[in-house]
Structure 1
Amino acid sequence: MLNQFLFKKIDNAQLVVFRVFYGLLISAECYGAIITGWVRRTLVEPRFTFSFIGFEWLQPLPGDWMYVYFAIMGTLGLMIALGYKYRLSAFTFAVMWTGVYLMQKTSYNNHYYLLMLLAFIMAFLPANRDFSLDAKQNPNFRSTTMFNWIRWMVILQLFIVYTYASVAKLYGDWLDFSIIEILMKSKQNYFLVGDLLQEKWVHKIIAVFGILFDLLIVPALLWKPTRKIAFIFSIFFHLFNSIVFQIGIFPYLSLAFILFFFPPQTIRNIFLKKKTVIVDNTIHVPKNSKWILAILGLYFTIQFLLPLRHYTIPDDVLWTEEGHRLSWRMMLRSRSGTARFKIVSKKTGEENYVKLDDYLTKKQKRKVACYPDFTWQFAQYLKKEYAEKDEEIQVFLEGKVKINNGKYHEFVDPKVDLANVPWKHFSHNEWIRPSQKD
């Protein structure tokens, strides 16, 4: 029964048209990162970047080479859209984007993580079998069908993203709208809508609509009677996010995903202008079907479990941040903090306080002050720098953190030498102080 469902042949119009939008959007993301100064601020100007722990060796290319790096990725996006040397283009982009994702997290965004996953998914899908230069150059390669599992793989990935995003919002500061008020304060100077976004009733609508949209949008798009109205709500929701939160290509990529919910012939009538494609509905189970099912099963098991890992770690994830990333916990909290790093020489006992401006950008300083992995990594960086001068040091932090509208509380045990404690990826780091009720 499962094989009959997953390995049924269907029209591939949804996939090939999505490939065009996907390629154009990632091209716009990469070229836009250069034009808007994101590459300069995030990867060129900093003395060093905060990579994911374990990837400290992965740092930006020196000088202006990161501009070239992003220009190459933008060009790969155009090649993907055209379906030209698709496998090579898509896989190369996936590797290069993963490099960018892992080499810096100061500008962390859940959408960057989704794009990394999508890049590898697209690299392995036959998205160039039609409406592509590859198919035009090799007519024998052309096909108008694909396996049903391809469509449902994309839909299941979206379901995971949206569902976890909805469930994560079910906590006090979202339900009492206070986090919405914080998020909207920075938008009060927006042309025309700035004052409107400060209204309490608007905050209530945003909060409730955010939960319901994330929870219901995938089922609503799957069910034919609600598909069109869900599409209209999607346009409003994602354009609102694009204008108000300015989160790059993600709102438009989310709209492009809707292609997988409409009938293939509808997609062809709008975008391809071709006659009806005759699909042979016979089931064709390939020889490697067991490998396909095993890989899909493993991948989605990880995707279902990874966002739940913070439940296995003591204390509130909103406070500790342990298990927050890779979990679709989007726009849920505001963090601020103060930090004074004290260096103590192991040899002489001499104490000195670090001048953060000598090391960090303004944005990096904000992260170091209130995110535990940034705090730990900066201590490791200081330890390494002094070790190169044959000096052994201890690093202590005196700092406080507040979440949303809460009060400042001591975040790190000031007696713990952060330069000489290990980082725990999947368990609690005891040097993080317990959360306290305001």
Structure 2
Amino acid sequence: MINRWLFTQIDNSALIIFRVFFGFLIAAEAIGAIFTGWITRTMIEPQFTFNFIGLDFLQPLPGNGMYFYFAVMGIFGLLVMVGFKYRWSMLAYTIMWAGVYFMQKSSYNNHYYLLLLLLIMMSVLPAGNYFSIDVKRNPALKKISMPRWCVLAIIAQLWIVYTYASVAKLYPDWLDYSVAKNLMLGRAYYPIIGDLLQGHWAHVSITYFGILFDLLIVPLLLWRRTRLAAFFFSIFFHIFNSIIFQIGIFPYLSLAFTVFFFSKERIHAIFMKKKEFYDKNEVIVPSYKKILIPVAIIWFAIQIVLPVRHWFIPGDVLWTEEGHRMSWRMMLRGRSGITNFYVVDKADPKAERKYINKKDYLSKKQLRTVAAKPDAIWQFAQRLKKIYAEEGKDISVYVKSSVSVNGKKRRPFIDPEVDLANTPWNYFTANPWIIRYDDDKEK
């Protein structure tokens, strides 16, 4: 049963055309980062970046090195698109993108995480076996079919992402439209549509359409009777997101995924008429079966468990941020705060607290991050400790911080009596120096 379900051979037109779309989009992501100024703001202007904790060795290349880094990524993306040295080009882009993703958090985006997962998956899928330079150079590589698990894995990954994105929206601030209102308020200056987006009807529509779309889009695309309508809804939804939220390639990548939901015959007829259509449905059990199944079980177990880890950490994740990343909590909240840092020279007998001017160390984007994100606050304290240590001083760092979530009244966020420079970061449990309140949901 498992063999028939996973290893039945099906036509591979969907995967091949998706590779072309995917290669173009990841090339556009890399090259676009150069010309939109994203690299300048995120990698060049800051003195350092807020890398994922524990990966301190990941810092931008000096000078203009990151421009060349992204240019090389763009080239690898184009090589993926045309299928030249596909596997190596895909792996190279994956490794380089992983470096970018873990190198900085000031521009954190759930879509960047999704892209990393997809890059890993595409690195193992047989997407270069047709309509590629590799096949032209070596016709023995040519295949017109693929095992069914290739499609099932992609659909399962998307289903997990969209389902968690929908469930995460089921909380008061989203359901009372305040999140949508705040999001649209920041787009009031848009020509033509800016005023329309301020209407209550727009906030209600965005709130509930967002929940229903994320929850239902994969099942509706899978069901033949609703597939076409769901596809047109997807076009509207993702183009709207692209215009309003300007979130890079993600809306277009999401549309590209729909090739896996339409019938194999239709995708073949639309995109690859000259290709021989495969319809033999042979069951070919590969030699890698013993590796594939346990790896797939581990992969999807992580995908299911990781987004719910915040339920095992005391406090509301909307407030503490602990367990927020890698959990598909997309556009769920707005955070702002006022955070001041003070250092104390341990050798100073008076032990006076010295105020730190954050602008001396941080870029504008980083200032917003440090104002309200606990891991960035802790990391900046560690950064100050390192800077002063280079001057031969052993210091303590204290923080006075107040934060607002979704426009609510600011409340104290960090225990001002805790020396963050000499306090460890708890990866999997609560950090006690984050102030929790009785009205926070106990996870």
The 2-side partners of 1:235 and 1:278 are apart by 29
The 2-side partners of 1:30 and 1:287 are apart by 36
2:390 aligned partner:
388
2:425 aligned partner:
423
1:367 aligned partner:
369
- Give 2:399's match in structure 1, choosing from 387, 394, 397: 397
Q: How do 1:54-65 residues align onto structure 2 when only pairs under 5 Å count?
A: 54-65=54-65
State the one-letter code of the partner of 2:131.
Answer: F
2:248 aligned partner:
248
State the one-letter code of the partner of 1:159.
Answer: W
1:200 aligned partner:
200
Percent of paired sites with the same residue: 56
1:125 aligned partner:
125
The 2-side partners of 1:247 and 1:436 are apart by 36
The 1-side partners of 2:390 and 2:112 are apart by 34
8 Å CA contact 1:338, 1:401 repeated in 2: yes
Q: Secondary structure at the match of 1:399?
A: strand
The 2-side partners of 1:211 and 1:204 are apart by 11
8 Å CA contact 2:268, 2:277 repeated in 1: no
The 1-side partners of 2:194 and 2:384 are apart by 42
1:217 aligned partner:
217
CA displacement, residues 320-346 of structure 1 (integer Å, 9 cap, x when unaligned):
000000000000000000011010111
2:359 aligned partner:
357
Q: Secondary structure at the match of 1:40?
A: helix
2:318 aligned partner:
318
The 1-side partners of 2:193 and 2:136 are apart by 48
8 Å CA contact 2:10, 2:278 repeated in 1: no
Q: Secondary structure at the match of 2:192?
A: coil
Q: How do 1:7-406 residues align onto structure 2 when only pairs under 5 Å count?
A: 7-274=7-274, 277-348=277-348, 349-406=351-408
The 2-side partners of 1:366 and 1:137 are apart by 51
CA displacement, residues 66-123 of structure 1 (integer Å, 9 cap, x when unaligned):
0000000011111000000101100000000000000001000000001111111111
CA apart distance, 1:124:
1.1
Q: Secondary structure at the match of 2:344?
A: strand
The 1-side partners of 2:125 and 2:50 are apart by 32
The 2-side partners of 1:306 and 1:82 are apart by 34
CA apart distance, 1:436:
5.7
The 2-side partners of 1:138 and 1:229 are apart by 41
The 1-side partners of 2:316 and 2:437 are apart by 7
The 1-side partners of 2:62 and 2:24 are apart by 28
8 Å CA contact 1:165, 1:214 repeated in 2: yes
8 Å CA contact 1:402, 1:409 repeated in 2: yes
CA displacement, residues 35-75 of structure 1 (integer Å, 9 cap, x when unaligned):
01101110011111000001111000000010000000011
The 1-side partners of 2:308 and 2:341 are apart by 33
Q: Secondary structure at the match of 2:414?
A: coil
- TM-score scaled to structure 1, two decimals? 0.99
The 1-side partners of 2:374 and 2:347 are apart by 27
8 Å CA contact 2:238, 2:251 repeated in 1: yes
Q: Secondary structure at the match of 2:73?
A: helix
The 2-side partners of 1:295 and 1:207 are apart by 37
CA apart distance, 1:282:
2.4
State the one-letter code of the partner of 1:401.
Answer: V
8 Å CA contact 1:265, 1:276 repeated in 2: no
8 Å CA contact 1:423, 1:429 repeated in 2: yes
The 2-side partners of 1:98 and 1:301 are apart by 21
State the one-letter code of the partner of 1:432.
Answer: I
State the one-letter code of the partner of 1:43.
Answer: M
The 2-side partners of 1:196 and 1:286 are apart by 56
The 1-side partners of 2:300 and 2:428 are apart by 19
The 1-side partners of 2:301 and 2:408 are apart by 36
8 Å CA contact 2:42, 2:365 repeated in 1: no
**Is the alpha carbon distance of 1:17 and 1:275 closer, same or farther for their aligned partners in structure 2, counting shifts above 3 Å?**
closer
Question: Structure 2: any 5+ residue segments left out of the alignment?
Answer: none
CA displacement, residues 244-291 of structure 1 (integer Å, 9 cap, x when unaligned):
000000000000011100112211211122255133322111122021
The 1-side partners of 2:32 and 2:73 are apart by 11
8 Å CA contact 1:159, 1:218 repeated in 2: yes
Q: CA RMSD in A?
A: 1.0
State the one-letter code of the partner of 1:171.
Answer: Y
8 Å CA contact 1:317, 1:323 repeated in 2: yes
State the one-letter code of the partner of 2:285.
Answer: V
The 2-side partners of 1:138 and 1:399 are apart by 62
State the one-letter code of the partner of 1:360.
Answer: L
The 2-side partners of 1:128 and 1:141 are apart by 8
8 Å CA contact 1:135, 1:141 repeated in 2: yes
State the one-letter code of the partner of 1:71.
Answer: A
The 2-side partners of 1:64 and 1:286 are apart by 46
The 1-side partners of 2:357 and 2:51 are apart by 21
2:426 matches 1:412: no
Q: Secondary structure at the match of 2:248?
A: coil
CA displacement, residues 213-255 of structure 1 (integer Å, 9 cap, x when unaligned):
0000000000000000000000000000000000000000000
The 2-side partners of 1:195 and 1:225 are apart by 37
